[in-house]
Structure 1
């Protein structure tokens, strides 16, 4: 019977420090703290009870001094009352005591740990990077099972979206601002794409080294597309029978000097891919913090890039969109 009374007292103390927005079934203390709630009275009794705890071993006191959890419990109760007093003076009428416990901290650390992979002893830099990743992801791992704490239901004070916003000076630069329109009502992304295409057009046939990687990626894209369709018109549109100067990187990747196994893209495909990538990077500076980033980028690419030379592909893919 004595054990049952002790367990009930401790359970009530835990409930009083875990109050949410509503009262749990049979748990009158799992409610917001207010002037009319039983929290303060319980804490006064609990403080006296905790002070009287004695830990025995073989019928004799086992400790010369109170253990840290005993003193810590008294400090927590006193601190909670001081917080409540300050909040009342500031005009607050309720306090969710669950916001004072360690669950949000443990859940946050759990998300950080999951972003550290198998690294159980991260450095300060790795910890900070994992924390930023967790915050930017909106603590996406918070709802995973087998956690130490229940979902705390709290929201972030700062989602670090400012990391993805262009600096104020850059936002005034016409070459990087995509939220504004020109006086003629044309989106800035159109002018970005137009300028990039003008730069790409002479760079591809000239064999500019800066487009080597774009050519290689374009060849991979062409290869993937042609695997799903067998159309000579599309093959002619996407690939080139003549080795372009900019395709030298692909050529060096060939396993044989006599047999061609890789795909060599057409100039138009390289120009389109290069423009799309540059436009995507430019747009990401201002849309990475938004929902459906892929939708924003796809819409901008479709509406601004001149892909008329690749229009034959629409016959195959229009029905799948």
Structure 2
């Protein structure tokens, strides 16, 4: 169980202290994370990240590691690179890379998420040592506003924990991979984490009504029910299932929800609606929204390509030119680059929604008819 709750502990210290000072004197401020959330709430769109109110008000769910990991993710780093906020990108990038190295779970992974093996050993160890040096140099303001090393205060737990994790990973790699009769060809650090044990305990606890201290009889009864009826699945515990590791996989529990609930497809009848022409016009989209819409347009192209069988039509959906810089920044080889036509349709859609919001003083349009009218108008504008 090498991977400790490093992002969670560092998030707690970062938000509590408010300001971290690097060894070179640069300040890393928590308020910029809050400003980023406010910006996304104001614009109504997110730039390819999962930042929400739960990440800011983390005290209500302080045991969820996934919220802390998303806070230090590369998607937040992308926003700082775009200079939308004055977040220190190097700090976030280093923490994200170190967490990826300590959380590798795919033998075919690439980059920081690649397994530790002879070909990637030097890069992985270099990332861990760089993060260790960064964390050792962090300082906070103590009494009389004097800078004190973070590892010398009561908030030293994430620093000491990460150093122990990083050095333990290096030692385990040398024992399991680099020895003459080594049993492994590579090391997946996620297999060493305690997530699997926590998922199992979460399933046991759920059968006891979330009893934090079950007795022997209650544990035995819950264990029997898990063996007979269901497999351990991801739930609302402290961690999420990150790979295909199965626990107590005796019988699958797949249910056709549509058949169970009796859901039938409903045909939407679109009627003529001339109220769109009377709404206030919105001709300008902010730079933030243009970047977000370009990113969303790529996802739309990816979904359409799964259903389009016409090759010329499929090629017309994408374009190597006129791609927004944000899409280029986020692309790691798997993003679709939307054509200018698809991006234009998405921008028109956003302006239509903004017209309704402005007309209703910020309230979303109610009912199916409004959405149907927007889709109808957009469809007609594409063909006429």
Q: Whose helix proportion is higher, 1 or 2?
A: 1
For normalisation by structure 1, the TM-score amounts to 0.41
Work out which of the two has the higher radius of gyration on C-alpha atoms and give 1 or 2: 1
TM-score by length of 2: 0.35
